[in-house]
Structure 1
Amino acid sequence: MRPIEPVKGGVTPPEHFGPVPELRWLAISQLVVDETYQREIGGPGKTNVRAIASNFSWMKFAPVVVCPVQGGAYAIVDGQHRTTAALTIGIDSVPCLIIQADRKQQAESFRAINAGTVKVNRLAIYRASRAAGDPEALAIDAASRAGGVTIVASYMASKDLKPGETMASGTVGKCLAQYGRDLTVLALKTIVTSESEQGGALQAKIIAAVAAVLYDNPAWREDARLTGAFKNIDLAGEMEEAFFKAKKPGAAKAADLLYCAIVRHLDAALRRKAIA
């Protein structure tokens, strides 16, 4: 065995480390979940909880990170799934690491703890980042709202998305970085226009394709008929068709096929020369 040794060089310690945390066993009945930055335990999450519960061992149980909130309760910053698993098999208290933080700091802690883990999805990280006041997340939220779009709280089947709903927070962020706010908002607005009562068009690949088409065709962005043109495009259907065609030997990538399909529709509607 070897002792722990510090890493030499390349480290500038922060001026303050924050309040020292406390380790304590707490009753699960005292623990709550702040839905501002944490999602409800859905299908995959429940599968994870069942797996933890079925193979429960204190040797595998890391202390739950919590923070005191009003009413004598403690908000779980990290450990919702393992705490739920413990309760599921009749355990009524768990070891906790108690930190002192306001809601914004709690969300930042959640993001910092979970950003590098596969088990926490991008939507959860986005929600935590937004709650923590992260500028990029706030910009994504603002652009989405301006485009008439709501970023849902957790993943679901595309067919279950209502009109104006999307899971593609990451794609909106990429579009903002690549094309700017105005074009991103316009792309979202046009996609919302194209949606039927079922929704489902605000998928990542569709958002990326529409934004790319509008970027490559600046004249179309200024055309008053653009919104009306999108009303006649079944974007979700075009995406399915693109994926089907892409499976054929020697076919182009689905993203390129979708891009070309959108160009053809807009070219016909706006009477512009088609792009090869």
Structure 2
Amino acid sequence: MTLRRIKPLTFADAAPASIAGKKPELKWVAPTDLFVDETYQRDLTDRSFRLIERIYRGFAWNRVKPPIAVDDGGKYHLIDGQHTAIAAASLGITELPCFVVEAVAQDERARAFVGHNTDRIAVSPIAIYNALRASGDPDALDVERVCKRAGVTIREYTNTSTIHVGDTKAVTIIRNMIRKRGVIKSRQILECLVKGEMAPIAAGAITAVENILADRPQVDLEALARIIRMDGEAGFAKARAKASGDRTPLWRVLQARWQRRLDQDAA
């Protein structure tokens, strides 16, 4: 286990906030005593219902984030956490930990609501994968084993990163492919791209090879890897430009391009 202690940072060009108002109080509140101000908060959408159902199915106290609310004369107006509150109420939970903060005026509450929904970083698929892997999730462990045997490294990178053959961000595509094709075929597909010296391995390239193998089960993967290697970065860039210009998925352009080269070599 690697532990990283929280340490303060300094920001040369940023003025620190003036910390105002009272500290929040932690109170146990009945979920059905919480209210949503629809003046500035969203109504429930299909996506909301799916999220509530997911919380409902997987509710656990060690996963709960306390809702944030304002005490308005004994009525608790939610600023953040209505999905959690609705799931808890649906489960028959009689008390929920709730942070009660100071925000008297409605516009102040609305600003707080915006802050809670923008001052956060979306959790990346790779971060979720790493957490699932650490928890022993079978699907995540399958992804780890397949990638290790194929020579693929799942990692975050940017345009300025040093990228190596086999690096990829496409953890979701790989997980779905393993579920659909199994570990052996998935490893063969990824090995083909590693032998093709792709750096990084794009999601579209994985799907392209997956579909080639589905359409042509007897395809020579060594020959396909050689074509991908010869096509190189320049060929990939041309495929990406064509996909953008034709408004076609990249995988479809790559599949057609590589299949055409296979046919030419076989002629």
Q: TM-score, normalised by structure 2?
A: 0.52
Which residue, out of 153, 156, 160, partners 1:150?
Answer: 153
Aligned Cα root-mean-square deviation (Å): 3.9
Indicate whether 1:216 and 2:218 are aligned. Answer: no
- What residue identity is the alignment partner of 1:191? L
**Structure possessing the higher radius of gyration over alpha carbons:** 2
Partner-residue secondary structure (3-state), 1:220: coil
Indicate whether 1:183 and 2:185 are aligned. Answer: yes
- Evaluate the alpha carbon distance shift between residue 120 and residue 261 of structure 1 in structure 2; reply closer, same or farther with a 3 A threshold: same
Structure 1 segments unaligned to the other structure (5+ residues): 1-30, 35-45, 64-76, 80-116
- Evaluate the alpha carbon distance shift between residue 179 and residue 237 of structure 1 in structure 2; reply closer, same or farther with a 3 A threshold: farther
Q: Which residue of 1 aligns with 2:35?
A: none
Distance 1:180 1:168 in 2: 17
Which residue, out of 243, 248, 261, partners 1:246?
Answer: 243
Which residue, out of 137, 146, 152, partners 1:134?
Answer: 137
Distance 1:214 1:202 in 2: 17
Distance 2:192 2:153 in 1: 14
Q: Which residue of 2 aligns with 1:231?
A: 229
Contact 1:158 1:200 survives alignment (8 Å): no
Distance 1:208 1:127 in 2: 22
Partner-residue secondary structure (3-state), 1:120: coil
Contact 1:129 1:137 survives alignment (8 Å): yes
Q: How does 1:15-34 map to 2 (within 5 A)?
A: 32-33=3-4
Shift of 1:204: 1.1
Contact 2:239 2:254 survives alignment (8 Å): yes
Per-residue CA deviation, residues 200-237 of structure 1 (Å, 9 max, x unaligned), is: 2411111111111112111115x664544443232x43
Partner-residue secondary structure (3-state), 1:160: coil
Contact 1:194 1:230 survives alignment (8 Å): yes
Shift of 1:266: 2.1
Partner-residue secondary structure (3-state), 2:219: helix
Q: TM-score, normalised by structure 1?
A: 0.51
Q: How does 1:1-276 map to 2 (within 5 A)?
A: 32-33=3-4, 119-152=122-155, 154-157=156-159, 160-195=162-197, 200-221=199-220, 225-234=223-232, 236-248=233-245, 252-269=248-265, 271=266
Structure 2 segments unaligned to the other structure (5+ residues): 27-62, 66-119
Contact 1:233 1:265 survives alignment (8 Å): no
Q: Runs of at least 4 residues of structure 1 off by over 6 A?
A: 55-63
Contact 1:150 1:166 survives alignment (8 Å): yes
- What residue identity is the alignment partner of 1:166? T
- What residue identity is the alignment partner of 1:144? C
Contact 2:223 2:262 survives alignment (8 Å): no
Residues paired across the two proteins, number: 170
- What residue identity is the alignment partner of 1:244? A
